[in-house]
Copies of this chain bind each other. A is one copy, B any other.
Amino acid sequence: MVDAKDAGPRFEFDRDTWVEADGEDRFRAEVSPGWNIGSNPNGGYLASIALAALARSVPHHDPLAVTAHYASRVSPGPVGVVVDVLRTGRGLSTVVARLVQEGDVRVQVTAAFGDLSAREGPTVVTGERPSFPPPEACVPVDPSIPGVPEIMRRLDMRLTPESAGFAIGHRSGVAAMEGWVRFADGREPDTGSLVVAADAFPPTVLNLMETPWVPTIELTVHVRARPAPGWLQCAFRTRYLIDGDLEEDGELWDSSGRLVALSRQLARVRA
């Protein structure tokens, strides 16, 4: 966390999600083109701007459940962030942030905030960490290749050989995408940045078919633990592509081998 903008956030993610107060329950921010997929800002990045405003508006530390509905396209440039605190509770707060451009709500993010360090109750885990090759045995996504999205300059992403095949025309035939991700400039993951990792990987359906763009309609991320420093191990899959609509289910694990987030989005294959 940074105390003043003059000091300047050290990392790209913090600089590009910076929000400044602009009246009561209002902030302003600047959508950077540095997180674009093609000409559209990444949905996880946009949600992170909303979360940055929400984090200033609640007494709790961690976004536990984050839902973003993408109503219309956001352009790089200035954006207003309007915050609405629905409830501040002892254990949980429920808050809404809307990204506004030209008077229209373009994205709405609703989040339940709490403190993961204070959650107490039973633990029973039966899910297993995905088993695939370590980062050094995976395929780095090279941002210097034409057509690779701008966001890949901000991230260090490694795809499993099976997942990466689509890029050279060897589609696996399985709607899955697996690999590792971390920020390229060394910023460590935290509960406020996991939503970027949950939405940054190439779409699962690229391993089924060519498609230029897979816009997200709705994205929900459940943050289940504070991530340890280092790589995030991520696995996404789609089981139901129906009439062009698909769910993409994700699991994010940290370098200590803990599940840190579950994600699901409803997206659409655009011809």
Contact = CB atoms under 8 A, between A and B. Distances in A.
A209 B122 contact: yes
Contact of A122 (B86, B105, B244): B244
Q: Interface of chain A, helix or strand or loop or mixed?
A: strand
B64 A67 contact: no
Interface stretch (A10-18, A46-54, A218-226): A218-226
Interface of A: 64-65, 67, 69-72, 86-87, 89, 92, 94, 96, 98, 104-105, 108, 110, 112, 116, 119-127, 174-175, 208-209, 217-218, 220, 222, 224-225, 239-245, 247, 259, 262, 264, 266, 268-269, 271
A48 B83 CA distance: 26
Contacts of A218: 65, 67, 110, 112, 220, 222
Q: How many copies of this kind of chain does the complex include?
A: 2
A130 to B, nearest CB: 13
A247 B220 contact: no
Contacts of A108: 86, 94, 96, 110
A128 to B, nearest CB: 9
A86 B121 CA distance: 38
B208 A266 contact: no
Nearest to A125: B240
A220 B263 CA distance: 11
A156 B69 CA distance: 33
Contacts of A119: 242-245
A222 B247 contact: yes
A240 B125 CA distance: 5
A139 to B, nearest CB: 24
B89 A72 contact: yes
Nearest first, the 3 A-B pairs at minimum CB distance are A121-B244, A127-B239, A71-B94
Contacts of A67: 67, 69, 110, 218, 220
Nearest to A110: B69
B262 A64 contact: no
Given A87-B105, A123-B242, 12 more contacts: A69-B86, A70-B94, A72-B89, A86-B104, A112-B266, A121-B271, A122-B209, A122-B243, A124-B175, A127-B240, A240-B262, A262-B264
Given A104-B87, A245-B64, A69 B240 contact: no
A67 B67 CA distance: 8
A242 B225 contact: yes
Instruction: Give the interface centre of A125, A220, A269 by most chain B CB atoms within 10 Å.
Output: A220
21 contacts: A65-B217, A67-B220, A69-B94, A72-B89, A86-B104, A110-B218, A112-B217, A112-B218, A119-B244, A121-B244, A121-B271, A122-B209, A123-B241, A123-B242, A124-B241, A127-B240, A218-B222, A222-B266, A224-B240, A224-B242, A262-B264
